[in-house]
Amino acid sequence: MNTNSYEEKIQAALDEALNLKRYKEKPQVEIVSSPSYIKEPILVSKSENEKCLIERSINSVRISYLFPFETKQESIDKLVGNMLTKFLMRRADAIPIFRRVAIEGYSISFLITFDHLEKHGKEKILKFLGDFRKDIEKDINSFKLDLNSQARAIAADCMKLFE
């Protein structure tokens, strides 16, 4: 499956899932006070190491992403990726759709309620989620390049001691 197809499938599933209604104030996807308001989850998978789980209810949607860096053993990708997602989740107050803790087995999770859609609009939220997915890889690569250049600078300084 190519990347565009994966991205398009996620966008289409999110577009369908984000047709929410006002129903009480608590997100039903989180508390499940009435199982009849919970819809079948959607799993879009690019590979075993990269997938998106969309859990739906009448008034909320929980979106969880597993990024490929999670499954790499002892790599700089995993270190940088985990630091980035944890940094974002700790800022859940500033970006209310972030969940503080990802669903088990996933890198990061979002919780979108009817109120979020009403305040920001469906198109803006869809654009944010699409951009987020695309940008996380670029951000990780940028962090890795910065880390490598800092390591080279430190190594060069150390080598000067032995000249």
d(CA 63, CA 42): 10
Q: What is the pTM of this model?
A: 0.81
Amino acid 1: pLDDT:
46
85 pLDDT band, cuts 50/70/90, is confident
Q: Where are the domains of the chain?
A: 3-134
- The amino acid at residue 129 is L
Hey, what are 50's tokens? 């990269």
Long-range contacts of 68-72 (CB under 8 A, 24+ apart): 69/107, 69/140, 70/107
Instruction: Judge whether residue 84 has pLDDT over 60.
Output: yes
Q: Which CATH number fits domain 3-134: 3.10.20.90, 1.10.3720.10, 2.60.120.650, 3.30.1460.20?
A: 3.30.1460.20
